[in-house]
Amino acid sequence: MNDDFLEALRAAAGADNVLTGESECWSYGYDNSRRHCLPQAVAFATSHPQVLQIVRLCNRYQIPLTTRGRGTGTTGATVPLQGGLVLSLERMNRILRIDPDNRLMIVEPGVTNQAVQDAAAEHGFFWPPDPTSAAFCSIGGNLAYNSAGPRAVKYGTPRENTLGLRAVTGHGEELRTGTHTTKGVVGYDLTRLLIGSEGTLAIITEAALKLTPLPETRRTLRSIYRDIQSASRAVAAIMAQAVTPCALEFIDKAALDMIRDYSAAELPAQAGALLMIEVDGSTASIDAAVESIRYAATNDGLLDFMAAQGKAEVAALWATRKALSPALRKIAPKKINEDVVVPVSRIPELISGLERLASQHNIKIVNFGHAGNGNIHVNLLVNPDDPAEMQAAHQCLDDVFDLVLQLEGSLSGEHGVGIEKRDFVAREIDPTALQLMQAIRLQFDPNAILNSGKTLPAIS
């Protein structure tokens, strides 16, 4: 890396905010995908003007630039494939403004999701996106991936809950998008374009988040079914009635069998699928909401329906779901985890197809996820030290993606594309759309310094 560039970088970010030693930079070369590439330098920005200067320096010296938050992504989107500079935004962690009257909060990208929730709660609000890693992941990362979580079934994703952004394009130009109002149709919607773009167009330095009032109360429910078909019919019925749950989580038979082996969770022997359901709203209407969900969830395959009556029972009901991740870590610490999406009515076809592929390729597959919007986490349990098994797993994954697209689904619901799914994108997006997306990318980043090699396949 050019000494002149490093000298200018230290002047822009401050000498204490730049790392160049291999051991210092090592941990900034990976994310939760377990892929790793060593950056040549790491810079910590603490303000929007610093980000602007750093991007302009990278353009001037043609330095590849990868922006990261806390590294919780699972697709390799923050792995610096070309080395270069990693720009960490973890120190841009201020909540700049809370405006309860207008139901918005302005934050820097390094603020954690949990810090936003805690600050909003003091004023009686919350920000709906709630990824599993909320205690650690950053808002910038949530926006870069459009990461949502269970509440998306009722409240939407970051795209529906962000009013506007401040950013620096790949060309080193300042940009403001959106509004501070819930209505606004002037110009193109660049806010939604940047959200989910995985740092390939611009670097977000501020976000105006749309806040939602906290519900008065919440109820937790669990329903257990004889088979996946019964559970899927229940999901469709629940989503067709007037009460939208704030969480509707699904666990398949393979996952339930695993939970039995690795926890003390009590489950009927004949259980073939399980739904975890939460409803929220006013105290006056919550009982009626629970009954509406119960009625929709009831069919001839229902084995058990339970509504928790207190904190202890809520914890007991969620214990089954919480037992799944430790069980997966014990069995397959290096599993392949995908987050495909299909129309809700086609979940049974997806699960049946996955069972067929598991048998065909001799790969154990465990499925769970956000059934209310058809977002299923497909886990291939493999031994990475077995070349034959890994080859079978990759062929199985290829077939999984074909199955999802045949069912009119999408290859990713909230984990993003990064490196892991980049080479499959052309199966879902037609050539015209891909050409337009590549042109948009070049418009934002004409020197191709931002997160090169990610998200979109190379132009053929």
Question: Which of 213, 236, 267 is where one domain is finished?
Answer: 213
Residue 125 has pLDDT above 80, yes or no: yes
pLDDT score of 324 more than 90: no
Cβ 250 vs Cβ 362: under 8 Å:
no
Asked if 171 and 57 touch (Cβ cutoff 8 Å), the reply is no
Q: What is the pLDDT of residues 376-406, one digit of tens each?
A: 999 999 888 889 999 999 999 999 999 999 9
Q: Does the CA dihedral 348-351-356-359 come out positive or negative? A: negative
d(CA 340, CA 89): 29
**Is residue 129 located within the same domain as residue 199?**
yes
Q: Are residues 122 and 56 in the same domain?
A: no
What CATH number corresponds to the domain at position 312?
3.30.70.2190
Residues 103, 208, single domain; the answer is yes
Pair (106, 183) in one structural domain: yes
Quick check: pTM over 0.85?
A: yes
- Please tell me the total count of domains within the chain: 3
**Which of 271, 293, 325 is the last residue before a domain boundary?**
325
Question: Is residue 459 predicted with pLDDT exceeding 90?
Answer: no
Residues 209 and 115 grouped into a single domain: yes
- Whether residues 125 and 83 share a domain: the answer is no
Give the pLDDT score at 263: 67
Q: What is the pLDDT of residue 333?
A: 64
Q: Is residue 429 a part of any domain in this protein?
A: no
**Of residues 262 and 56, which shows the higher confidence score?**
56
Query: Do 48 and 121 fall within a single domain?
Result: no
pLDDT of residue 237: 95
- Are residue 144 and residue 204 in the same domain, yes or no? yes
Comparing 12-21, 190-199, 451-460, the range with the smallest average pLDDT is 451-460
What is the Cα–Cα distance from 104 to 106, expressed in whole angstroms? Answer: 7
Per-residue model confidence (pLDDT) at position 166:
98
Q: Same domain for 245 and 301?
A: yes
pLDDT surpasses 90 at 336: no
Domain of 198 in residue numbering reads as 95-213
For residues 102 and 209, state if they share a domain: yes
Q: What is the CATH number of the domain that holds 101?
A: 3.30.465.10
228 pLDDT exceeds 80?
yes
151 in a structural domain: yes
Q: Would 343 be classed as within a structural domain? A: no
Say what the pLDDT of residue 313 is: 84
Q: In 3-state terms, what secondary structure has residue 110?
A: coil
Is 411 buried (19+), middle (13-18) or exposed (0-12) by CB count in 10 A?
buried
Looking at the predicted structure, is the pLDDT value of residue 246 above 90?
Answer: yes
Question: What was the pLDDT predicted at 258?
Answer: 84
* In the predicted structure, residue 33 carries a pLDDT above the cut 90: no
Q: Which of 276, 294, 325 is the last residue of a domain?
A: 325
Please check whether residues 105 and 73 belong to one and the same domain. Answer: no
Give the least confident one: 27-36, 122-131, 292-301, 397-406.
Answer: 27-36
In this structure, the strands spanning 95-99 and 125-126 are unpaired
Q: pLDDT tens, 189-204?
A: 999 999 999 999 999 9
Q: Is the residue at 282 inside a domain?
A: yes
Let me know how long the chain is: 460
Task: Please tell me the predicted confidence (pLDDT) of residue 460.
Answer: 59
